[in-house]
Structure formats: structure tokens, C-alpha cells
Amino acid sequence: MDSGLMPSGFVEVRELLGEELLDLHLKVLSGESHLDNRIGHPRVQKPGLAFAGYYAYIKPGRVQIVGESETEYLSTLSEEERRERFENITALAVPVFVLTKGIDPLPGFLTFCQAREVPVLSSTALSSTVIKGISFFLEEHLVPSTTLHGVLLSIYGLGVLLIGESGVGKSESALDLITRGHSLVADDRVSVKRFPNGDLVGFSSGPVRHHMELRGLGIINVQDLFGLASVRERANIDLVIELEPWLDGRAYDRLGLDESVYHILDSPCPYIRMPVALGRNVSILVEIAARNHVLKLQGHHSAREFVRKLEAEIERNRGKR
């Protein structure tokens, strides 16, 4: 049901030197001509076990963080043992080594890395800070992503994605919800990423952030019109509501017992198909749907409770006969 699915892909080593990781103060110690090496995994590693001789621990495509503990351990080895470890570990599919705390590389390490075309970066930050920063950067850039046509709103803290054919009234309904105190995340093009914990996070990127297109009015800046509280940078997608023109004779769910899902990046999201007809206040219906979903998350399912009460009443009436 979604389109534009992108694989996890890769990040080139040179991208670690960009503005997003400026606070790590990364610099190149060697291998400037090999900064196009590809990082293919969002998790980084500390190669302590590999330096101890367990080379199967190294996973291809991961950034290797060399900190104080690894350096101190290597210093306890003889020169011959250390050269053997350097030779073996640099022969593996390592895209880059990052030295932390401004540690100087041990003799011979840069030579092996240069021979095996593995760049070496250095940071003055602590290992924990470097691991956190690079991991967050790689998760943002390597997780599966896609782009959806719709409007994403935050309603009562719930991420609600409105989808449907062009002209069905998604943006107008969203604008009405914004005037009722809810927040816009993205209009028209919703960028979505699926993180390792399963969260689907939607956001708007580029110059269209905080803007909406309204037929007859053109482009409006929601933040300028309604203030900071009217927009959010991103939100988890918790509920998908598809707006569609009302069709006479078509069967629609009357009780709310049917629970459907909408798949985004192969992850299921609760899904509601909502018919749009002349005279229906769609924004209020969307708001009620969000409220009702919050109740379901809290364990209160109105439709099921109604059916249970109805069945209990029928049983009581049978008993009176």
C-alpha cells in the first residue's frame, strides 16, 4: 500500500565528517583517498574481542570504535603479536576505524590500514559520546524509508496519517484540526522511516516543512499563522485513516468491530476507512477516531463493550421466557 520503498543502502565514510557530527570533531588520520568506503550497518562495534584474536566478532560494514581499553590491551602485547592482530583485523570488511579521546594510534596501525585501504578517523570525544553520535546518525540514514502521499498530524499525542485520493479533502480537514489545537507534522509528502524498535516515524523534509497547500489559497505557512504549537517536526504513525468519497450501496462498518491494518514499510498500522459525504464534519470524525483509538490503547473498546452488553441483555430476556 505504500510506494517508493528504499532499501537500507549505505553511507560513505566521508559523510561522518559532515555538519551533523560536527560536535564529535572528527578528523582524518589516514586514508583520505578511501573516504568513499561504504558503511552498511547502523550499529557500531568496539573491536576488543577481535584484537584478542576472535576475528569472527567483526561484522562487515560496521564502524569500528577504538578507545582507551582497546589501546591499553594492545599495548600489553608483544610487537609481533600486535602486528599480527593489525594485519588480520585490517584484512576484514571494515569500512573505517575511529579512534576516540584523541588517542594516538599505536605504531604500525596506520601503515596496515593504508595498505588495506581502510581510513582512520580520530575524535577528542569519549568513546560513549562517539558511539552515541555515530549510531544515531547511522540509524537516521540507514533505516528503511519511504514517501507517502497524505497528511500527518499529531492529535492528542497520537500520530494520525490521513490518506486518500487527491481532492478528497485531506488538507482542509487537517487545517480544521489545526484550528482546534492539534499539530501538523507533514502535508502532501510524508517521509517515513522504520527504526529497529519497530517505530514508524513520519516527518516533512526540505522547504515544504510547516507548509500546506490549499486549493484556492495556495501555499500557507502553518507555523506563521497559528504559532509554534501548531507544528511538530516528527511523530510516530499510530493510526491511518483513509478518506474516500461516499458511495451509495457500499457496505461500511457500522459497529467498529472490524479492525483492519495498513502496511507501511512492511509494518502494520491500525487502519480506518472513512467515507466523506456532503454535510459530514470530517475533522470532528477524525478527532473522535483518534480519541477512540487512545481508549483502545488503554483497554477500552467501545464497540466490543456494546456488543457484550447487548448479548447479556439478550440472554437475560431469554431467561425471562
Question: What share of the chain in percent tops pLDDT 70?
Answer: 89
Q: Which of 62, 82, 170, 194 is catalytic?
A: 170
Alpha-carbon distances, residue 291 vs 154, 159, 261, 262, 271 (angstroms): 12, 12, 18, 19, 14
The question of whether 258 is a catalytic residue gets the answer: no
The question of whether 170 is a catalytic residue gets the answer: yes
Q: In the structure, what pLDDT confidence band is assigned to residue 9 with cuts at 50, 70 and 90?
A: confident
pLDDT surpassing 90 at residue 319: no
Contacts of 172 (CB under 8 A, 6+ apart): 214
Q: Which DSSP category does 45 fall into?
A: B
pLDDT surpassing 70 at residue 206: yes
Q: In the structure, what pLDDT confidence band is assigned to residue 316 with cuts at 50, 70 and 90?
A: confident
Q: Which of 41, 132, 141, 188 is catalytic?
A: 188
pLDDT digits (tens, 9 = 90+) for 88-125: 999 999 999 999 999 999 999 999 999 999 999 999 99
SS3 134: helix
Q: Which one has a higher pLDDT value, 179 or 301? A: 179
Q: Which of 254, 316, 318, 320 is catalytic?
A: 254
User: For the chain, how big is the Rg over CA atoms in Å?
Assistant: 27
DSSP string for residues in 164-196: ESTTSSHHHHHHHHHHTT-EEEEEEEEEEEE-T
Q: In the structure, what pLDDT confidence band is assigned to residue 166 with cuts at 50, 70 and 90?
A: confident
pLDDT surpassing 70 at residue 130: yes
CATH superfamily name and code, 144-305: P-loop containing nucleotide triphosphate hydrolases (3.40.50.300)
pLDDT digits (tens, 9 = 90+) for 32-90: 999 999 999 888 999 999 999 888 889 899 999 999 999 999 999 999 999 999 999 99
pLDDT at position 307 is 59
- The cell for 176 is 480544521
pLDDT at position 7 is 43
Q: Which one has a higher pLDDT value, 205 or 188? A: 188
pLDDT at position 254 is 61
pLDDT digits (tens, 9 = 90+) for 207-224: 888 989 887 788 989 999
- CATH fold label, 11-141: 3.40.1390
Q: Which of 41, 46, 141, 149 is catalytic?
A: 149
Q: What is the mean pLDDT of residues 276-299?
A: 86
SS3 150: strand
Q: Which of 56-70, 244-258, 275-289 has the highest mean pLDDT?
A: 56-70
Q: In the structure, what pLDDT confidence band is assigned to residue 143 with cuts at 50, 70 and 90?
A: confident
pLDDT at position 313 is 67
User: How far is Cα 279 from Cα 276, in angstroms, rounded to an integer?
Assistant: 9
CB 103 within 8 A of CB 74: no
Q: Which one has a higher pLDDT value, 319 or 165? A: 165
The question of whether 149 is a catalytic residue gets the answer: yes
pLDDT surpassing 60 at residue 276: yes
The question of whether 62 is a catalytic residue gets the answer: no
User: How far is Cα 160 from Cα 242, in angstroms, rounded to an integer?
Assistant: 10
Mean pLDDT of the chain: 88
Please report, for the chain, the start and end positions of each structural domain, with discontinuous segments joined by +.
11-141, 144-305
CB 27 within 8 A of CB 164: no
CB 57 within 8 A of CB 94: no
Question: What share of the chain in percent tops pLDDT 90?
Answer: 63
Q: Which DSSP category does 60 fall into?
A: T
